[in-house]
Structure 1
Amino acid sequence: MKILALRLAQLASLPGPVELDFSAEPLNDAGLFAITGPTGSGKSTLLDALCLALFGNTPRLRNAPGRESPITDIDGSELQTADPRTLLRRGASSGYAEVDFIGRDGQRYRARWAVRRARNRADGKLQAVEQSLSNLDEERLLTAQKREFAELLPRYLGLSFDQFTRAVLLAQSEFAAFLKADDNERAELLEKLTDTHEYSQISAAAYKRASAARDEVKRLEGQLDDDLPADEATRQQFDNELQQAEQQLAASHRQAQQLDDEQRWLEQDRQQQAGVDEASERQSQAHNDWHALEDNRRDDAWLTLLAPQRDLLRRHDELQRRVPEQRDQLACVHKQSEQAATALQQAESDEHQAQQQLSHHQQSLDKSRPAIAAARELSTALAAQQHRLATLKEERDQRQRQLAELNEQHQQCRSRYQQHLQQRDARQAELAAWLEPGQAVDAARQQTQQQWEQSSQHVLSLTQLAQHWQSFSEASERHRQLQQRLTRASEEHQQCLELGKTARLRLDDANTALEHVRQFVHRQQAARSESIIELRAALSAEVPCPVCGSLDHPWHDSPPATPEAAQLAASQAEEQRQLDDAQRAVDSAREERDQLLGRYQALDAQLKEDHTTLRNIEQQREHAQQQLQAHDLHHQLQEVAEGERSRWLQRQRLLSEQQRQQADERRQALDRAQRALAPLADVLGEDERELERFSTRDQGLNEELQRLTQQLSPLTQRTDELRQQLTAQLGDHHSADDWQQHLEQQRDQTLQQRDLARQTLGEARQQQQRLVQQQQHDQQRLDALEKEQRELCQRIEQWRAKHPELTDDNLARLLDVDDSAHRALQQRIADTRSRLQAAEVSLDERRQQWLKARAIRFPETSSEALLSREQQHQVEQLQTTLDERQAQLKPELDAAQSRRDAAWHAVKDDDRRRQRMAEGRERLDAARAQHQRWARISDLIGSSDGKAFRRIAQAWNLERLIEEANHHLAGLSRRYRLIRGGSALGLQIIDRDLADERRSVHSLSGGESFLVSLAMALGLASLASGELAIESLFIDEGFGSLDPQSLAMAMEALDGLQAQGRRVGVISHVQEMHERIPVQIRVLPAGNGESRVEVAT
């Protein structure tokens, strides 16, 4: 990977456009170049533009705060501090950054990042960023989509953003801190440099998993202790009581079943009677509907007779309308033909007149051509003269501006000189003000330092005392609050336990009711089964029924009639409703029970946790009280009332802080005054020399301005003469071209008019021919329609003569009925006939079914008397007797059911407890196994802060980094080699010039530290880039703090990098480096927050 060129505009302090071509001289042959300029001029903006073009982000913005610190844009909208669009220069409407590079495949690519404001206005809203990637060798745009750009660029460049900032942009300050750090700090720095945070996360996660598994084991053990089943003797007693209660309940159910069968027959009889009444009403309604359709049936007969003549009559009506329309159309065409003949004569006259005007304008143009040529020559001469005059005026104005700027700078220099004089006098007076009479500066500084240290120590002591007091107060308050919460939680815990027992009983009752409904529905379905006849036939006396278990079989000899479909559907719907109601009751009771159980478990766990927290808080309060009593100032605090202690501590700390601040202010004032006096003498001398240079330049500019003013007078006179001659030649025209253009426009307009007249003439001739043909065609069509109309009239008169009873009104009404309406009428008649037949059949079937059912129930009664009023009164007496017997049986059945339910609940509750105990033991065994597994893992790599596994993993990363760093260190200086030593993440240096003596990294000089830091930075770059060859490096830090000898070693190291075939760019403020690096990219301030960039050698 190699950077070929960098271009940017309107970014930060660089308005641009700026172009740095590393493939052109002098940068092409420069293996080492410097980026120089004052602080804040925009040197780092060049590297920001490099990252923007490639990745749309910069290292500085990546570390900026996010949503916590928005900034306001020029249009009032808010931008995040980390938004790259904030790099757009203030007042600019658009900006961009562009990089050409050689990718991992050897081809040349161009990456571009651009941003603009709405409508390209400086006050417009910032728009979305635009990014594009192009292949320069193939001249092909690869993408202009931001998301696709982020996927393609690392593929062609070979580096991600993090890898690029570690492999191409080297920040040595991190490695200087890395060398001098302890193991914990070195692990954190190495984790940051190698971007391997996952090892700390794995360590912390393993610790959390082990803690969670341990808590789960404790929770399950507590649950088993709170839910024990009954012993064996109690369980045997529950089983015996349940067996006796079920026997009593079965006997009561058999009696109730007999009454239910009698009730079902009575209900079926009422339903059959209602069915007969309903069928009779439907039969009467069907008769009425059939008689109401008498007129419709008569119309259906006429429509059937009229169907063969319908098309003939419709065609006759259509001809009655079309013949008059055809006559009107023929008259209209005749009138249009006469108008077309008149238009043809007018078009021939217009064409002749246009041809004459065209000839006249062409002659005028030919006569004016010589005069136009002469005017054009005068215009050329005048333009040349005006250009010379404008050039001299611009040069004169430029000299005037330069003179004004020079005068302003001269005045500014004088102001700075006076200001520096005043600053020197003020600093001398300020220094004297802080000294006592006859006191030396060093003595005053030492005295102030002692006062500051004493005040700081007193502030620290008061801060510790306040912390101990606050810890004791907070622990006491938490202890009081937690005791109150424990009291409330215990009451709620007991209340939840009582509600849970009640909910469990309701759930058991609902399950029992659901089972009874299911059994009842099953018996009802069995009674309606298709095989019920075979089952009844197989019944024997004293043998229980296989469906209901009864020993009495009343329907063995006289079975009930099978209900028809409507009654069957109603019965099934009622049974399903009862099942749904019972199921909903069970679900509601179970949901209530589960909610209370969850609440009970949560309260139980909360109580245990609160008790543990209470013990911890008591220990914390006791510890805080011991620390408070052991403090030196405790006796002074005890003398203050308890309510006033916080305010007393605050006043004491404020007083000590004021004393320390006063001492610190005096010490800083002494330092500022001494530091400010030193450079003022040199500044004053430089100001005097600059004033002399301004005076010399002022004199030269005045002489140059006088010379230009003398040359302007003759040029202005000659220009006016040429302008007068040209005005006389042109007359009313502005220029020769305007004159010629005016004549040519007149000719062209006349030519267009002539062509338009010819076109109009041709169209008029075509229109006349078309209308003549149309007139002939319309006459033929009219003759044919009149002939057809006469023939149809004869045929219709013959058919009407055969049917004189069909009047004209009826015929017109019947013709308005279309085929679909006729078919609908026929369908309506057929449907009414079918309903009448079906109603009569249904009435007969239902009466026969009712007679058959009553004949089976009352076999001694004749068929005629079965449906009489006397028989109906007998049926009603049966219902009254049945209601009395059911009312007597219900209390006995409810009492038996209650005894059985109580015994069943006791057995089922014990079964559930036993089941929960077995399941709880399985879950506890699984939780213990899980805890053992995670405990072993946590013992190896787990820790709450992630340090355990981080140290293990970063030790391996340190080995890789040392290996790569030693490879680069051998090329920079063969004297040193890095090794691990002293601790798991310790670093030592082997000095080969001292017989391979091991040295501490803290013993390295500034230059040696620079070499080692640079080698480690290059090693990390190799790790980040993998197998990719990096030919471009940029070093942004590390040179300002080096002494001359160390700086010489650093320059030798940079020369070594250059010799390895790398192009290295160095950002530095050190003047010695500027002198030793011939090729420089200079960023020079131009005032008003702007800088310009130039390449110098």
Structure 2
Amino acid sequence: MRLHQLEITAFGPFGGSQTVDFDELSSAGIFLLHGPTGAGKTSVLDAVCYALYGSVPGARQSGQGTALRSDHAIPGTRTEIRLELTVAGRRLEVTRQPPWERPKKRGSGTTLDKAQSRLREYDPAAGAWKDLSRSHQEIGEEITQLLGMSREQFCQVVLLPQGDFARFLRADAEARGRLLGRLFDTHRFGEVEQRLAHRRRAAEAQVRDGDSELLADAHRMQQAAGAAMELPDLAPGEPGLADAVLYAAAVARSTAREQLTLAGCRLSAAESAHAAADRDLADVRELDRLQRRFTQARERAALLEERVDGYHQAQARMERARKAEAVSPALDLREAADTEHRGAAAAEAHARGLLPETFADASAAGLASAARRAAEELGGLESARRGERRLTELVHECAELERQERDDEEVGQDAEAWLAGWEETRAALQSRIDSAQEAATRAEQLAVQREPAQRRLDAARLRDQLAGDTETAAEQARLAQERTLQARAHWLDVKEQRLNGIAAELAAQLKSGEPCAVCGGTEHPAPARKDAGHVDREAEEQALTAYQQAEELRAERERRLGVAREALAAATAEAGDAPTAQLAEEAEKLERLHTDARRAASALHPAHEELRRAQAEHEQRTEARQQAAVRAASRVGRRERLDRERATLEAELAEARGTADSVAARAAQLERRAALLTDAADTARTAEDTAQRLKDADARLADAAFRAGFDTPQAAAAALLDDTEHRELQRRLDAWQSEETAVRAVLAEADTAAAARRQPADVDEAERAAAEAARRLRDAASARDAAARRCTELDRLSARATDSVRRLAPLREEYDRVARLAGLAAGTSADNERKMRLEAYVLAARLEQVAAAATARLQRMSSGRYTLVHSDDRSGRGRSGLGLHVVDAWTGRERDTATLSGGETFFASLALALGLADVVTDEAGGVRLDTLFIDEGFGSLDDQTLDEVLDVLDSLRERDRSVGIVSHVADLRRRIHAQLEVVKGRSGSVLRQRGVG
């Protein structure tokens, strides 16, 4: 995983928008994140974590949601975190916006906006970003899957909190177990322990429940058998329990079968007696039914005889209705004709009501003739209507001539007024031009004086600056001279030491049997040996190189001093001895005068332009006055022609419109009269037609009624029945006929008549005899069923008891096996020598891997002195296998990590953090972590240890990693050039970034 860019807006202490370019910072391998306390260094790391997981690390999780918003932010600015990173070969962009209280768009107060998230991926083929998801859950699952670690693991592995690992070094086994359990997700092994313990308890409960179930079945068999079974007093787990239960069950089953045979014999006798009683009861009930059926038929026949007159009347009414149905079409036709005639008469009355009284008695033909006359008069008004439109146009033309005359008068008056002041205006503009010309001449003269004065001022300022630079360069040259002398003396000392020990150096090159380079001898009986402070060629060359570099620096500083002195002499010659303040005052005065003159001269061009525009306006107004006079002369003749045409048209229109206000009004009157007369003529003809049709319908109706046998049409109409009445009358006739047929059929039955001649049946006595037989049968059946249920229940319970005895053996074996495994995993078994739980065993293996990975860096940081090892020893009542010790190579002893000093604790915890990061990374599937952050602790290191720690961190670049150090140590700002500074202020913190360059 590599971070590229982070954008923070209104988050934590950052009130505005801040951007971090991690690509630039990571190019150096190591970069520094520094700033005063409370500025917001940790907030930068919180922003990275929030962008990836939607929450901030550790104890700062209480500040979620709206509390993440900066107190310095503008009310309308939304809090937003945008992070661009590469993970698993994919370039992603994650944007997070926590919920915030924004001002309402309408009214006062605030409203809560929900959190928003967005995930995008860069497509190299398309060269653009594409959206992947806007769901919080989907984005969280995608990031967690790609990184292969949870938020807690990320905060512990990527954002290395040194304080946590310092506590980890000094913690007991329980605290180490909690941290390692979160990082390596070993809760599944704890779940295995719980699972085994649960299975042990379950197996034990099954065995105990098996014994209880067997005794419960025995008691149930005793209840089912009653006095036929005796059960000894036994408890779960006692020997012989199964045999005693099975023996008692066998005795109870044998006794129950004998009782079942006796009950079956008694049930057979009761069934025979009950069948005979049921047959006698059925015969008596059938006789009683036939007798009651004959009596009811006689009663219904008498009732029909009483209602026979009503039946005959209904038959006559139905026959009269059938005859009236032949007259129904004529009745419908006459009703339709009458309705049509009444509508036509009403329409005629309405149309005649709209006409004058002179047309009240006019026929349809007279109304049509009057309508034609009105239409002819309307056609004669067409010419007059065109004349009226022409008169309107003449009125508009006369009004337009009057408007043009008023406009020309205003133009002429305006031109006369403006031309009256022309001479004064021209003289004033010419005066402005002359004044601006004089100012331009004065500005040119001042410009010649201003440039030399400005050059002298610049030279004086350079002179003052070079005076200070010369003193600084002289001091640097002196210091460089001193360092050169020191480097030369050191080189000579080293050279002398090497010459003094040259014999040992030559002796190191001797080989047995080869001649010596000094004496030529092939035997070397006593070659010189190097002492502890021996200086070799490499040390001498390093001292010589340091001397040469110091000499080059001295020469460069002396060259710079000479250049500074030459520049100072040139600036002094140019500026003279006058003070810089005096020269600045003179230059400022000339500049002020020159500015005033140029400002006055700048009015020359506008004055020329204004004079040109005034002359153009003079010509335009003179020409406008002349054109207005010409237009006024041409309007006189046109006005006379329009007046003559208007008088002629008004005389013609007065005759055409008559008493109306206008010709159009007269035409509208004639159009309405013609329309009303036409409508009245049409309705009159329609009324005449409908009256004739009504007369014809009356004649046909009278003829139809006579042929159907009715005296009048009204009698035929009264004889008609509607659908409801017809159905009701037919139902009554059908019901009477059905009842008569049914009664005759019953009275004709032979068995019914024979039953009526016998003595009345005694049903109550037969029912009492049958009920007594049924009761004896139920008692016998109940006794037989009880005996059968007893046998069935005893067989079922005996089978269950046998199965229970058979199941208990494998359950006891499983319980013994699970109990041994649960004790071994929980560390309580005698087979577990160290009393170590399964989860602790796995954590110990992980701790061993972490200690091995951390040792590789710890040895380099401590110059090979310290090594981290884990211990399996059990401390007090705590866990075993989670101990952590340090081996001191100087003493050869192993001691507790709590004995380390502050600086030693820091680089030991740093090595542990880096090692843990490697192990967790491998555990997470080998995801590359190309960007790490280390938080504080460097202030406890001396210079040499700090160099060694930085070398170890710098070596991470071999794996293409970049490390961000969060620290207040001032020495780190000189050692690490790539920096991200957090500057705090009253309006919030800002970020300042400086790259390698």
Q: 1:1017 to 1:795 in 2, by over 3 A?
A: same
Q: Could you tell me which residue of structure 2 aligns to residue 913 of structure 1?
A: 797
In structure 1, distance between residues paired with 2:669 and 2:210? 106
Structure 1 contact 187–985 (Cα < 8 Å) conserved: no
**Aligned-partner SS, 2:933:** strand
Structure 2 contact 13–71 (Cα < 8 Å) conserved: no
Q: Could you tell me which residue of structure 2 aligns to residue 208 of structure 1?
A: 198
In structure 2, distance between residues paired with 1:773 and 1:149? 82
**Alpha-carbon deviations, 1:2-34, whole Å to 9, x = none?**
32332333333332333333356xx46453333
* Aligned residue type for 1:874: P
Q: Could you tell me which residue of structure 2 aligns to residue 47 of structure 1?
A: 45
**Alpha-carbon deviations, 1:806-852, whole Å to 9, x = none?**
9888999999x9xxxx767766667666666666666677778xx57
The 5 A counterparts of 1:268-279 are none
Q: Does 1:109 align with 2:79?
A: no
Structure 1 contact 962–1019 (Cα < 8 Å) conserved: no
Structure 1 contact 990–998 (Cα < 8 Å) conserved: yes
Q: CA deviation at 1:209?
A: 1.5
**Aligned residue among 801, 809, 813 for 2:699:** 801
Q: CA deviation at 1:97?
A: 2.5
**Aligned residue among 57, 60, 69 for 1:59:** 57
Structure 1 contact 176–1013 (Cα < 8 Å) conserved: no
Q: Could you tell me which residue of structure 2 aligns to residue 1052 of structure 1?
A: 951
Q: Could you tell me which residue of structure 2 aligns to residue 874 of structure 1?
A: 760
**Aligned-partner SS, 2:186:** coil
In structure 1, distance between residues paired with 2:809 and 2:311? 81
Q: Could you tell me which residue of structure 2 aligns to residue 22 of structure 1?
A: 22
The 5 A counterparts of 1:855-870 are 855=751, 863-866=752-755, 868=756
Q: Does 1:1076 align with 2:960?
A: no
Q: CA deviation at 1:103?
A: 3.6
In structure 1, distance between residues paired with 2:390 and 2:48? 79
In structure 2, distance between residues paired with 1:796 and 1:258? 87
Q: CA deviation at 1:59?
A: 1.7
Q: Could you tell me which residue of structure 2 aligns to residue 131 of structure 1?
A: 117
Q: CA deviation at 1:244?
A: 1.4
* Aligned residue type for 1:247: C
Structure 2 contact 51–82 (Cα < 8 Å) conserved: yes
TM-score, length-normalised on structure 1?
A: 0.49
In structure 2, distance between residues paired with 1:135 and 1:998? 52
**Alpha-carbon deviations, 1:899-943, whole Å to 9, x = none?**
546645643443343143134345545644653564465355457
Q: Could you tell me which residue of structure 1 aligns to residue 3 of structure 2?
A: 3
Q: 1:11 to 1:899 in 2, by over 3 A?
A: same
* Aligned residue type for 2:93: Y
In structure 1, distance between residues paired with 2:58 and 2:155? 11
Structure 1 contact 95–115 (Cα < 8 Å) conserved: no
In structure 2, distance between residues paired with 1:332 and 1:803? 37
Structure 2 contact 331–701 (Cα < 8 Å) conserved: no
In structure 1, distance between residues paired with 2:669 and 2:153? 85
In structure 1, distance between residues paired with 2:173 and 2:738? 101
Q: Could you tell me which residue of structure 2 aligns to residue 259 of structure 1?
A: 277
* Aligned residue type for 2:696: Q
Q: CA deviation at 1:263?
A: 3.2
Q: 1:316 to 1:905 in 2, by over 3 A?
A: same
In structure 1, distance between residues paired with 2:923 and 2:407? 82
Structure 1 contact 972–1011 (Cα < 8 Å) conserved: no
Q: CA deviation at 1:199?
A: 1.7
Structure 1 contact 36–1067 (Cα < 8 Å) conserved: yes
Q: 1:1017 to 1:908 in 2, by over 3 A?
A: closer
* Aligned residue type for 1:1062: R
Q: CA deviation at 1:1013?
A: 1.6
Q: 1:326 to 1:1092 in 2, by over 3 A?
A: farther
Structure 2 contact 266–780 (Cα < 8 Å) conserved: yes
The 5 A counterparts of 1:762-841 are 790-791=688-689, 793-804=691-702, 805=705
Q: Does 1:31 align with 2:29?
A: yes
**Aligned residue among 83, 90, 99 for 2:82:** 99
**Alpha-carbon deviations, 1:67-111, whole Å to 9, x = none?**
xxxxxxxxxxxxxx4643322345864641322313445445241
Q: Structure 2 unaligned runs (5+)?
A: 222-228, 230-247, 356-370, 419-424, 426-591, 600-663, 830-834, 874-879
**Aligned-partner SS, 2:14:** coil
In structure 2, distance between residues paired with 1:362 and 1:829? 104
Q: CA deviation at 1:197?
A: 1.6
In structure 2, distance between residues paired with 1:1001 and 1:261? 107
The 5 A counterparts of 1:634-653 are none
Q: Structure 1 unaligned runs (5+)?
A: 65-80, 375-710, 719-765, 856-862
**Alpha-carbon deviations, 1:1042-1083, whole Å to 9, x = none?**
455544433223322356433322222333334433343333
**Alpha-carbon deviations, 1:369-413, whole Å to 9, x = none?**
x9xxx9xxxxxxxxxxxxxxxxxxxxxxxxxxxxxxxxxxxxxxx
Q: 1:1008 to 1:88 in 2, by over 3 A?
A: closer
Q: Could you tell me which residue of structure 2 aligns to residue 536 of structure 1?
A: none
Structure 1 contact 8–49 (Cα < 8 Å) conserved: yes
Q: 1:313 to 1:1006 in 2, by over 3 A?
A: same
The 5 A counterparts of 1:629-1028 are 790-791=688-689, 793-804=691-702, 805=705, 855=751, 863-866=752-755, 868=756, 871=758, 874-875=760-761, 877=762, 879-886=763-770, 889=773, 892-893=776-777, 896=780, 899-900=783-784, 903-904=787-788, 906-921=790-805, 924=808, 927-928=811-812, 931=815, 934-935=818-819, 937-938=821-822, 941=825, 948-955=837-844, 957-958=846-847, 982=872, 985=881, 1005-1006=904-905, 1008-1020=907-919, 1022-1023=921-922, 1026-1028=925-927
Q: Does 1:317 align with 2:201?
A: no
* Aligned residue type for 1:913: L
**Alpha-carbon deviations, 1:753-803, whole Å to 9, x = none?**
xxxxxxxxxxxxx99999999999999888777666655554443343233
Structure 2 contact 92–119 (Cα < 8 Å) conserved: no
Q: CA deviation at 1:117?
A: 1.4
Structure 1 contact 972–1057 (Cα < 8 Å) conserved: no
Q: 1:89 to 1:107 in 2, by over 3 A?
A: closer
Q: 1:180 to 1:808 in 2, by over 3 A?
A: farther
* Aligned residue type for 2:911: V
Structure 2 contact 984–990 (Cα < 8 Å) conserved: yes
**Alpha-carbon deviations, 1:486-515, whole Å to 9, x = none?**
xxxxxxxxxxxxxxxxxxxxxxxxxxxxxx
In structure 2, distance between residues paired with 1:296 and 1:354? 92
Q: CA deviation at 1:212?
A: 1.4
**Aligned-partner SS, 1:1014:** helix
Q: Does 1:88 align with 2:72?
A: no
In structure 2, distance between residues paired with 1:1028 and 1:914? 65
Structure 1 contact 965–1016 (Cα < 8 Å) conserved: yes
In structure 2, distance between residues paired with 1:239 and 1:885? 33
Structure 1 contact 272–846 (Cα < 8 Å) conserved: no
The 5 A counterparts of 1:228-377 are 228=218, 229=221, 230=229, 231=248, 232-266=250-284, 302=324, 306=328, 310=332, 314=336, 317=339, 320-321=342-343
Q: Does 1:1030 align with 2:916?
A: no
The 5 A counterparts of 1:599-618 are none
**Aligned-partner SS, 1:41:** coil
In structure 2, distance between residues paired with 1:344 and 1:934? 119
TM-score, length-normalised on structure 2?
A: 0.53
Q: CA deviation at 1:218?
A: 0.8
Structure 2 contact 747–753 (Cα < 8 Å) conserved: no
In structure 1, distance between residues paired with 2:315 and 2:111? 79
* Aligned residue type for 2:67: T
Q: 1:35 to 1:316 in 2, by over 3 A?
A: farther
**Aligned-partner SS, 2:965:** strand
Q: 1:813 to 1:892 in 2, by over 3 A?
A: closer
Which region of structure 1 is more displaced relative to structure 2, 1074-1083 or 235-244?
Answer: 1074-1083
Which region of structure 1 is more displaced relative to structure 2, 199-208 or 954-963?
Answer: 954-963
Q: CA deviation at 1:206?
A: 1.7
Structure 2 contact 983–991 (Cα < 8 Å) conserved: yes
In structure 1, distance between residues paired with 2:775 and 2:849? 90
